[in-house]
A and B are shown apart, each in its own frame.
Chain A
């Protein structure tokens, strides 16, 4: 098949590649492929025989032609030789002269037999010719006359389709034995010998005959080939479908092999995980199959009670798939744990948009995503290259990103780095003595710009001063919101898994610690904003210094500054104390509680299997290992997963309670949590840094291209403008949207994986791997 190169139809041409094959289909397929194989084999065989005949005939034709040439050339020489041999045989010579050319040749030919010279003619591969010559020379001690010439066109070997270039040779020698020897040698070297007649007329007849046979053969060959081709194309059209059916059948049997056989009751028993809410579907499908197959024995579905942790399975649709993949890439969610993918549907693109905020760029993203979603079905079937395939996979993520980027663009008042004057500005330019506008401005009394940043900041000298302060605080506040939100999920998890110690030993002290420092910082930021400091006639205190003094000299404020509010120093003191108290609580409460539970269980005489404390101890260990988050705890991660899988293998789910180990885990968890509160809050400043970079880059791009373009006027100016616009747009799409977008996406990804998921994610689940023809075919596609 490959030899001929017949194309196959793609599997998508068949209406429904994912349905299961029926039994009759397979039998039919087996019969069909059997008969087809026989037919193809016989066709191939006859084709090859014919081809071989053709090659032989071609070679013979070449031999005849070339040998004829040798004889003609040799004639002159023989005449000379003959002259020397029988000098007085004049009448014969005259006779030759009298009877024209043909007779002369015949006479010359005849003279070979007179001289007792025999010859061998044949064809040999060109690379062997040197060896052939040498061997002949040595064995015959030079008693031969050899002539050879190359066949200009390569000869095709029918068995393996290789091209071989060959030479025609003809050897003259004395004596029957020598000729026989030459024959043997040449045959052993892979030469094909052909009979050539000395008589030139006979030779001509031979050539004619060979030619007619060749042409006959060629027509037969053509017919055979066309039937063969037709047969192969017919197969090629269906081969993909057949391969799919075979693959499905193979996978089904592999799964069936996993069933265990009950000898006493003569039944097959399959144990498998199934989603609870599709149990009904499973039962009805099985009974359907039973009815259709007409079996007398029904298939029975039973639910088995087990202490093993079931695998994690989340039903996804086209929209949620991308987000679920993001989360699954970090770790498999523990069974029945809160799925972080659900809030990530919003928070992931939103964090992206905070860094990518530009109305125009957001619009480009949105349009691209809408186009991909619109042509979804077509694109799903076609083969995409790696990069585009990745973007297409996340098309709904890009869609959400586009929407939120447009929103944050409106908030930042940026569209391709230009301002968007949607509402009346809250600033008016002052007029100076000469009646000119600026440089200072004043505020319209009692009016605040209603939506987003005021557009009048665009292009001002102190634009960066204002927007940096705003975006920095925005990042801190959003980070605080996101982390508090994520921390709440650990409460939900603890409540679901009924581990109150996780609430009192981890969640509550952690929350108090976090809020008393960073919640207070967020509160101060907002408080500082809503106080009208100008009206008070005070200069507001710096929040950064406030935080530093809160730690370095508790109970005092920065010298020389007014307090934010009354009793600030005392409140800060109390908050700090609360945070400090939470540390030992977090450190000791949980290990102590676990130890007490364990001892209590021991005292009551519980030992061996099914100790509730042990199970919970295991859970807690895992919890600590994973709640740490960050890169440091990857080692723990592996251990946890390995242990769980081992458990499934052996069906044991408890281990010895080791107080030291629990304590170490808790110490690591506490230290990491406290340090991470600081570092993660700082980490959210990337929102500010990236949005600043994005905005500045798009401003620079605009100034370097379009702004220069506007300087030209007239006809030439318009042409220049078109070129510049093209360049600007290309750079906008590739640099600002694709490059910057990728970097913003990676940062958003990090914020979710590290900053948010470390607050609640356990992630020691085992993925659910249902048997599906669809995934089977996707993993190993039929080419």
Chain B
């Protein structure tokens, strides 16, 4: 499902979203605010997700939990 290509797919999605935000932002004196807020939000959320994803791409340690109940 999610493999090494995911960051690039995510980047494309975010790029499309940013383009949409840029062109579909409501016209008027608040257009700049709309554009910058939407684009910057999308980018920072993407970066956060990307970092988390990459950190788990090849983890060096595995979860260790003694005393598990059977159904867990």
Q: List chain A positions with a Cβ less than 8 A from chain B.
A: 315, 317, 319-320, 342-343, 345-347, 350, 354, 404, 407-408, 411, 426-427, 429, 436-443, 446-454, 456-457, 459-463, 465-466, 469-470, 473-474, 477-478, 481, 526, 529-535, 540
Q: Which of A317, A429, A440, A477 contacts B51 (CB 8 A)?
A: A477
Check if A441 sits within 8 Å of B44, measured CB to CB. no
If A345-B33, A526-B54, A529-B54 touch, whether A441 touches B62 (CB-CB below 8 Å) is: yes
- Specify which chain A residues have a CB less than 8 angstroms from the CB of B6 in the assembled complex: 448, 450
Given A450-B1, A530-B54, A540-B60, are A438 and B66 neighbors across the interface (CB < 8 Å)?
Answer: yes
Residues of chain A within 8 A of B65, CB atoms compared? 429, 438-439, 441, 459-461
Find out whether the CB atom of A447 lies under 8 angstroms from the CB atom of B60: no
* Contact yes or no, A478 B47, CB < 8 A: yes
- A-contacting residues, B2-61, CB 8 Å: 2-4, 6, 29-30, 32-33, 36-37, 40-41, 44-45, 47-49, 51-61
Does the CB pair A454–B56 fall under 8 Å?
yes
Is the CB–CB distance between A347 and B72 below 8 Å?
A: no
Query: Do A457 and B37 touch across chains, with their CB atoms under 8 A apart?
Result: no
Taking a contact as CB atoms under 8 Å apart, the answer to whether B32 and A342 are in contact is: yes
**Also in contact, A462 and B36, with CB within 8 A (given A437-B70, A529-B55):** no
A343 to B30, CA, bound (A): 14
Distance, CA A535 to CA B58, complexed state (A): 9
Q: Are B57 and A529 in contact (CB under 8 A)?
A: yes
User: Can you list 27 A-B pairs, Cβ within 8 angstroms, ordered by A?
Assistant: A315-B29, A342-B36, A345-B33, A346-B36, A347-B44, A354-B48, A407-B45, A411-B49, A411-B52, A427-B63, A436-B68, A437-B69, A438-B68, A439-B64, A439-B68, A440-B62, A441-B64, A442-B62, A447-B1, A448-B2, A448-B3, A449-B2, A453-B52, A454-B63, A474-B52, A529-B58, A540-B60
- A462 to B66 Cα, complex, angstroms: 11
A470 touches B55 (CB 8 A): yes
Q: Once the chains bind, are B33 and A319 in contact (CB under 8 Å)?
A: yes
On chain A, the residues within 8 Å of B32 by CB distance are: 342
In contact, B40 and A343 (Cβ under 8 angstroms): yes
| Residue from A437, A441, A449 within 8 A of B56 (CB atoms) | A449
Q: Are A342 and B66 in contact (CB under 8 A)?
A: no
Chain B neighbourhood of A443, CB < 8 A? 59, 62
> Min CB distance, B1 to chain A, in Å?
6
Find chain B residues with CB under 8 A from A446 CB.
3
- A470 contacts across to B, CB distance below 8 A: 52, 55
Tell me which residues across on chain B come within 8 A of A450, comparing CB atoms.
1-2, 6, 53
Say which residue of B2, B40, B63 sits within 8 Å of A447 (CB atoms).
B2
Q: A446-B3, A448-B2 are in contact. Are A466 and B68 (CB under 8 A)?
A: no
Q: Which residues of B contact A317 (CB under 8 A)?
A: 30, 33
Interface SS of chain B: loop
Residues of B within 8 A of A343 (CB): 36, 40
Q: Is the CB of B54 within 8 A of A452?
A: no
Complex partner residue of B44 from A346, A429, A448, CB under 8 angstroms: A346
Q: Write the chain A residue with the least CB distance to B58.
A: A532
With contacts defined as CB atoms under 8 Å apart, how many contacts are there between chain A and chain B in the complex?
A: 136
Q: Told that A438-B66, A446-B3, A534-B60 touch, could you supply 19 new A-B pairs with CB distance under 8 A?
A: A343-B36, A345-B40, A350-B41, A350-B44, A427-B62, A427-B63, A436-B70, A437-B72, A438-B64, A439-B66, A439-B68, A441-B63, A442-B62, A447-B2, A448-B56, A526-B54, A529-B55, A530-B58, A533-B58
Q: Bound state CA distance, A359 and B54, in angstroms?
A: 22
The closest CB in chain A to the CB of B44 belongs to: A350
Closest to A351 in B: B44
**A452 and B70 contacting across the interface, CB-CB below 8 Å:** no
Q: Which residue of B lies closest to A476 (CB)?
A: B51
Contact of A530 among B57, B64, B67 (CB under 8 A): B57
CA distance A529 to B54 in the complex (A): 6
Complex Cα distance, B58 from A180, in Å, reads: 117
Do A320 and B51 contact each other (CB < 8 Å), given the known contacts A346-B41, A347-B44, A533-B60?
Answer: no
Which partner residue on chain B sits nearest A427 by CB separation? B63
Contact present for B53 and A448 (CB under 8 Å): yes
Asked, given contacts A319-B33, A346-B41, A452-B49, whether A531 binds B63 with beta carbons under 8 Å apart, the answer is no
Min Cβ gap B31→A in Å is: 12
Given known A411-B48, A461-B65, contact A345–B37 (CB-CB < 8 A): yes
Chain A residue with the shortest CB-CB distance to B63: A460
Q: Are B63 and A462 in contact (CB-based, < 8 A)?
A: yes
Cα A457 to Cα B37 in complex, Å, equals 33
Nearest to B29 among chain A residues (CB) is A315
The answer to whether A440 and B2 have CB atoms under 8 Å apart is no
Give bound CA distance, A426 to B59, whole Å: 11
Q: Which residues of B contact A532 (CB under 8 A)?
A: 58
When C-beta atoms are compared, the residue in chain B nearest to A446 turns out to be B3
Neighbouring B residues of A447 by C-beta, 8 Å: 1-3
Assembled-state Cα–Cα distance A451/B50 (Å) = 9
Residue from B32, B55, B60, B69 having most chain A Cβ neighbours under 10 A: B55
- 8 Å CB contact of B40 from A347, A426, A440: A347
Pairwise interchain contact A474-B29, C-beta atoms closer than 8 A:
no
* Bound-state Cα–Cα, A443 to B62, Å: 8
Least distance between B6 CB and chain A CB atoms (Å): 7
Q: Are B61 and A481 in contact, with the CB atoms below 8 A?
A: no
CA distance A16 to B52 in the complex (A): 53
Neighbouring A residues of B48 by C-beta, 8 Å? 354, 407-408, 411, 474, 478
Which residues of the partner chain A approach B57 to less than 8 Å between Cβ atoms? 448, 529-530
